[in-house]
Amino acid sequence: MSETIAAAASEALLPTYARFPITLVKGEGSWLWDDAGKRYLDFVSGIAVTNLGHAPKAIKEALVKQLDELWHVSNLFHIPNQADAAKLLTDNSCGDAVFFCNSGAEANEAAMKLARRYQQVVQGNGRYEIITFEQSFHGRTLATLTATGQAKVKEGYAPLPEGFKTLPLNDISVVEGAVSDKTAAIMLELVQAEGGIYAADAAYVKALAELCEKQGILLIIDEIQTGMGRTGKLFAYEHFGIEPDIFTLAKGLGSGFPVGAMVAKEKLRQGFTAGSHGSTFGGTPIATAVVKATIETIVGEGLPARAAEQGDYLISQLRMKLAGASSVQEIRGLGLIVGIQCDGPIGDIVAAAQQRGLLVITAGPNVIRLLPNLLVTNEEIDEAVEILVELLTAP
């Protein structure tokens, strides 16, 4: 796309995105091409969305087949794909019932609504407060940005909805002091992605789950970015030896097709009765055909285990080859969600990587975030590492 055409297109859009000066037009596997024919190694994956790489054959076939059959009927009717996709999710998780929507923010909204309604209508205790954590990210709606533990996303949106508390992560005594007879749920990411690729402490997570069970508080795990195999397990909660009451999914759930889901334990069915929540486009025949094919591929091909193996390889290569880089403070991650903590802003590094044909993004101002697809090869990892090492060790 020429600069003139890009400028004209931008005039018709609200300027909500600080876009890179790249127009991508084609993708296959780990690779993307721009409108000038330049090829890029993609370590962004649409922000942890294209977990199976670009244009995966099995997903394309399922989508094309469904496009020839039925697109939309609304949730006033039974949708076989939706029931099948929900069964795949419950068969492969600790959950028992699924609500489909269109995005991660909607999934998190549904989780918070279900938590409140279960406490107030089913338990009859009037609880409504949701506890979340600093540096978290839960979405851009008014409720989910209020739940998010980052001030920058809240600017200009006052008054924010009440009923949220944001606490420091990994300090169980702070949580114990904050819990009250108003606390309906505790919501957290087990790896804070937007917040800098920080994993919660395992002992803390177990203590949090025990506190929730003891106090009748629902535990919600936001798996929007960590779910669908990215951390080396199908869901990140599996690393921590807990079972959440609710967990939420989007991003990798649809391999690039917009879809979200909230998965809940059996007891919570009573909280969402007919008419209590809904979504016109949630769980359409098209969306759930993609979800089915995505889950079948990830589970059937053992991709979570592969992500764990490739993540170990990526982290080990980075740590070995960046050991002497004075600008690098820490390399951390879980599976194929990896962060390189630097000693200053890394915007120039991201831009320089793009010039070299490698796409990466930030996780906060000083962290390079790496999100390759679950099928990334050792050769592709080696190529990405080589570029990053050259950029991070340059004088």
- We report the CATH number of the domain holding residue 127 as 3.40.640.10
> Is the per-residue pLDDT at 205 higher than 90?
yes
What token pair was written down for 134?
A: 């600093």
152 in the same domain as 110? yes
∠ CA 25-63-74 to the nearest 5 degrees?
A: 115
Structure confidence at residue 177 (pLDDT)? 98
> pTM of this prediction?
0.96
**Among 35, 41, 32, which Cα is nearest to 21's?**
35
| Pair 296, 320 in one domain | no
Residues 358 and 280 grouped into a single domain:
no
Give the model's pLDDT for residue 368.
98
Q: What per-residue confidence (pLDDT) applies to 66? A: 98
Residues 136 and 214 occupy one common structural domain: yes
For residue 10, pLDDT over 90 is answered with no
| pLDDT the model gives residue 65 | 98
Domain end call among 269, 300, 331:
300
Statement to judge: residues 206 and 281 lie in one domain: yes
pLDDT at 199: 96
- For every residue of 28-88, DSSP letters joined together read EBTEEEETT--EEEESSHHHHT-TT-BS-HHHHHHHHHHHTT-----TTS--HHHHHHHHH
> What are the E-state strand segments in the chain?
24-28, 31-34, 39-42, 97-101, 129-133, 164-167, 183-188, 191-192, 198-199, 218-222, 246-249, 260-264, 328-334, 337-342, 358-359, 361-362, 367-370
Name every residue whose Cβ is closer than 8 Å to that of residue 249 and which is 6 or more positions away in sequence.
89, 104, 107, 223, 224, 227, 228, 260, 261, 262, 263
**Residue 100 and residue 151 share a domain:** yes
| pLDDT at residue 5, as a whole number | 59
Domain containing 20 — which CATH number? 3.90.1150.10
What is the CB neighbour count within 10 angstroms for residue 60?
Answer: 13
Query: What's the mean per-residue pLDDT of the chain?
Result: 96
Q: Has residue 2 got a pLDDT over 60?
A: no
* Length of the chain in terms of residues written: 395
- Residues 6 or more apart whose CB falls under 8 angstroms from that of 215 comprise 179, 183
How many structural domains comprise the chain?
2
- Containing domain of residue 74, as a range? 57-300
Q: Quick one: 339 exposed, middle or buried, by C-beta within 10 A (0-12, 13-18, 19+)?
A: buried
Residue that the structure tokens 């957290």 belong to: 188
Confidence of residue 173 (pLDDT cuts 50, 70, 90): very high
Same-domain status, 97 and 187 = yes
Confidence of residue 6 (pLDDT cuts 50, 70, 90): low
At 119, phi and psi to the nearest 5?
A: -65, -45
Burial (CB count <10 Å: 0-12, 13-18, 19+), residue 119: buried
Tell me which H or E stretch contains 298: helix 285-300
* Pair 14, 137 in one domain: no
- Claim to verify: residue 7 and residue 86 sit in the same structural domain: no
Q: Across residues 117-139, what is the average pLDDT?
A: 98
On the question of a cis peptide bond just before residue 159, with omega within 30 degrees of 0, the verdict is yes
The share of the chain scoring above pLDDT 70, in percent, equals 98
On the question of pLDDT at 25 being above 60, the answer is yes
Task: Report phi then psi at 333, rounded to 5.
Answer: 165, 180
Same domain, 190 and 331: no
Q: If we measure between CA atoms, which residue out of 274, 304, 234, 297 comes closest to residue 99?
A: 274
Q: Is 77 exposed, middle or buried (0-12, 13-18, 19+ CB in 10 A)?
A: exposed
> Helices (H), strands (E): how many in the chain?
12, 17
Comparing 2-11, 28-37, 47-56, the range with the smallest average pLDDT is 2-11
Domain end position, chosen among 266, 300, 334: 300
Averaged pLDDT, 368-387:
98
Cβ atoms 187, 200 nearer than 8 A: no
Distance, CA of 250 to CA of 310 (rounded, Å): 22
Residue 80 sits in the same domain as residue 179: yes
Q: Residues 304-322: what's their mean pLDDT?
A: 98
pLDDT digits (tens, 9 = 90+) for 226-283: 999 999 999 999 999 999 999 999 999 999 999 999 999 999 999 999 999 999 999 9
Task: Please indicate, yes or no, whether residues 289 and 308 belong to a single structural domain of this protein.
Answer: no
- Domain termination site, one of 230, 265, 300: 300
Using alpha carbons only, how large is the chain's radius of gyration in Å? 21
